[in-house]
Chain A
Amino acid sequence: MSDKPLTGRARADRQPHSLAAWRGLGGGAGLALALKRHSPEAIIALIEAAGLRGRGGAGFPTANKWRFMRAGAERAGPGPRYLCVNGDETEPGSFKDRLLMEALPHQLIEGATIAAYAMGATEVIILVRDEYRAAAAALSRAIVEAEQLGLLGRDILGSGFDLTMRVHASAGRYIVGEETALIAALEGERPIPRHRPPYPAVSGLWGRPTTVNNVETLSAVPSIVEHGAEWYQGLSHTNEGGTKLYGVSGCVARPQLIEAPMGTTARELFELCGGIREGRALFAFQPGGGATAFLEAADLDVPLDFAHTKKAGSSLGTGAVIVLDDHACPVAAIGRHMRFYARESCGLCTPCRDGLPWVAKLLDTIEAGHGTRADIDLLHTHVQLSGPSGRSYCDLNTGALTPLRSGLERFGDIFAAHLQGSCPVGRA
């Protein structure tokens, strides 16, 4: 039994298995068990006991989400109900779902099928960003193979459960990965976020009950069903179940994807990556992608799970650990993020559409040594105005300004030094 349920069966060359080869490795056992031995409610209870939380960034308990969907479906009555798989991975530093879709499409399809059975979905749509063409092709081929073997379509494995599945290839834009924007995209609307409530479980795709789950979340499902909640829970170093696919990038010797027990520390991850680049020292790191607050050397032993990372003042996000060494200027680094978020704003809300380009420009000015105290005060104002709770339709703006908020708090002296035309840390 692998201690790497997500990647344990991946080929070294990252090429996808044929369905026959996948089954030869034991693939498909979770689906068979789910349909033959478990009721939908029992599967949800199993996922709950395993402690699986959404891997798309928010960490919402997966079982709760699936229960909301069942309740929504009951209220909505007969008709289609959708599971949308979020394969739009565009957050800076995040590159985990690419591997799962490219190398292990059958695992994702199996997980999505079990999830659809548990929550009562009738159709699965996997939205894949345009830049992941190999992933979209691998998934499309794998769906055809599964249909041919009766693992998708009508009366799957003689269980009476019917399910259709297809791939929707997107065409760029970070915002498409936002839950409600993704639903709008599938409807052919301009993909901008929608106000919640109503929540998608009540009124989602084409007004029908809908759940959006991340690729990594669903990829964990088959092995949980096969080996049980206790086994999955036991893989973790903390009380949040399972493993996590951490993606370490930036100033380490060997940037890479690592499937490790949930709650692995940054120190352990960096060691696996050959440490900080030669001759350099750690300056700071973002534990969960571009929209998470910085941590520093003192935080190297924080278990990287949802609760501990939050307690340390940041968040686990997607587990995309971006590492800055002592030659990487944080003003420049934050500026990079701001230019990304400014470019990727959908333009619906003013703080995002107008505020982020303004922030990006201020950071460029400060980085170039032409900033003033008033510019830094303005950055603080933007940060104060970006708080969550109703100032915009989605979290892009709040998320975007999180590294800035954290940078101003932790590295205020470096911002101040830039006003004098110098940077205490070198350029990357």
Chain B
Amino acid sequence: MSLSPAIRTAIAQAAANHGGPKAAMLEALKLVQEAEGWVSDAHLKEAAEALGVTTAEIDSLATFYSQIFRSPVGDTVILLCDGLSCYLCGGDAVRDAVMSKLGIGFGETTADGKFTLINICCVGGCDRAPVALVGPERKLVGPLTPDDLDALIDGKAVGGTP
């Protein structure tokens, strides 16, 4: 499916706001991803055309930034921090429990398409370690324990208030 007129308009707007088409490439990728969940080859090409840049130029960003997904992801993306502070607070046990519960490793999506698990560091929640960012809002949840995972996977808040 091709990009909606609304997204094309938003991409044009981004070029005006960011100081030109090239500087708006990342914003265009994010608009595509927000609408489609990830950035396919076809949509990448359309975004490039909408901005008047080459596909190679825009893909050079799409493949660099870790939060631009160039392959399909699940409905809910769980970004689990694997930084030192999380590790020191029991992050490995949480990681193992999440992987075992979902039956996937980092960079993988569950067979039912519901979850994608990605390792990330550091998400700036070291006072609540171990932490994860969950869903499109990148909601910070923690401190996580292996016993909390049901709540994490149900999308509920885990841990105390910040």
User: CB within 8 Å of B: which residues of A?
Assistant: 13-14, 89-95, 97-98, 129-133, 166, 168-173, 185-191, 206, 247-251, 255-257, 290, 320, 322-324, 328, 332-333, 336-337, 339-340, 343, 346, 428
Do residues B88 and A328 form an inter-chain contact, with CB atoms below 8 A?
Answer: yes
Do residues B121 and A92 form an inter-chain contact, with CB atoms below 8 A?
Answer: yes
Do residues A171 and B65 form an inter-chain contact, with CB atoms below 8 A?
Answer: yes
Bound-state CA distance A144–B161 (Å) is 28
Distance in Å: Cβ of B116 to nearest Cβ of chain A: 15
Chain A residues closer than 8 Å to B90, beta-carbon distance: 428
Do residues B23 and A186 form an inter-chain contact, with CB atoms below 8 A?
Answer: yes
Distance in Å: Cβ of B158 to nearest Cβ of chain A: 16
Chain A residues closer than 8 Å to B127, beta-carbon distance: 95, 247-249, 255-257
Chain B residues closer than 8 Å to A323, beta-carbon distance: 88
Bound-state CA distance A169–B17 (Å) is 13
Chain B residues closer than 8 Å to A336, beta-carbon distance: 82-84, 87
Do residues A191 and B161 form an inter-chain contact, with CB atoms below 8 A?
Answer: no
Chain B residues closer than 8 Å to A343, beta-carbon distance: 121
Which residue of the partner chain B has the closest CB to A327?
B88
Do residues B124 and A95 form an inter-chain contact, with CB atoms below 8 A?
Answer: yes
Provide a sorted-by-A list of 18 A–B residue pairs whose CB atoms are within 8 angstroms: A13-B161, A14-B162, A90-B122, A90-B124, A93-B83, A98-B125, A169-B27, A171-B29, A171-B30, A171-B65, A190-B60, A247-B127, A257-B127, A333-B87, A336-B82, A336-B84, A343-B121, A346-B64
Chain B residues closer than 8 Å to A339, beta-carbon distance: 82
SS of B interface (majority)? loop
Which 10 A-B pairs have CB atoms at the shortest separation, nearest pair first?
A172-B66, A249-B126, A171-B65, A188-B22, A172-B67, A249-B85, A188-B23, A95-B124, A92-B83, A250-B88
Q: Is B19 an interface residue (CB 8 A)?
A: yes
Q: Is B133 an interface residue (CB 8 A)?
A: yes
Do residues A188 and B84 form an inter-chain contact, with CB atoms below 8 A?
Answer: no
Fill in one digit per residue for B10-26: 1 if any A CB lies within 8 Å of its CB, else 0. 00000001111111111
Fill in one digit per residue for B45-83: 1 if any A CB lies within 8 Å of its CB, else 0. 000000000000000110011111000000000010011
Interface centre among B90, B92, B122 (most CB of A within 10 A): B122
Do residues A173 and B83 form an inter-chain contact, with CB atoms below 8 A?
Answer: no
Q: Is B120 an interface residue (CB 8 A)?
A: yes
User: CB within 8 Å of A: which residues of B?
Assistant: 17-27, 29-30, 60-61, 64-68, 79, 82-85, 87-90, 92, 120-129, 133, 137-138, 161-162
Bound-state CA distance A346–B64 (Å) is 8
Distance in Å: Cβ of B162 to nearest Cβ of chain A: 5
Of B18, B23, B26, B128, which one neighbours A171 at CB under 8 angstroms? B26
Bound-state CA distance A89–B123 (Å) is 8
Distance in Å: Cβ of A344 to nearest Cβ of chain B: 8
Chain B residues closer than 8 Å to A328, beta-carbon distance: 88
Query: Provided the pairs A168-B18, A188-B22 are in contact, do residues A255 and B161 lie with their beta carbons within 8 angstroms?
Result: no
Bound-state CA distance A206–B22 (Å) is 12
Do residues B122 and A93 form an inter-chain contact, with CB atoms below 8 A?
Answer: yes
Do residues B88 and A320 form an inter-chain contact, with CB atoms below 8 A?
Answer: no
Query: Provided the pairs A173-B65, A173-B66 are in contact, do residues A132 and B89 lie with their beta carbons within 8 angstroms?
Result: no
Query: Provided the pairs A14-B162, A336-B87 are in contact, do residues A255 and B129 lie with their beta carbons within 8 angstroms?
Result: yes
Chain A residues closer than 8 Å to B89, beta-carbon distance: 249-251, 255, 428
Chain B residues closer than 8 Å to A172, beta-carbon distance: 65-68, 120
Bound-state CA distance A191–B60 (Å) is 10
Of A130, A189, A249, A256, which one neighbours B67 at CB under 8 angstroms? A130
Query: Provided the pairs A171-B67, A249-B129, A251-B88 are in contact, do residues A94 and B82 lie with their beta carbons within 8 angstroms?
Result: no
Distance in Å: Cβ of B17 to nearest Cβ of chain A: 7
Bound-state CA distance A207–B91 (Å) is 44
Do residues B64 and A188 form an inter-chain contact, with CB atoms below 8 A?
Answer: no
Do residues A92 and B84 form an inter-chain contact, with CB atoms below 8 A?
Answer: yes
Do residues A132 and B67 form an inter-chain contact, with CB atoms below 8 A?
Answer: no
Bound-state CA distance A250–B19 (Å) is 42
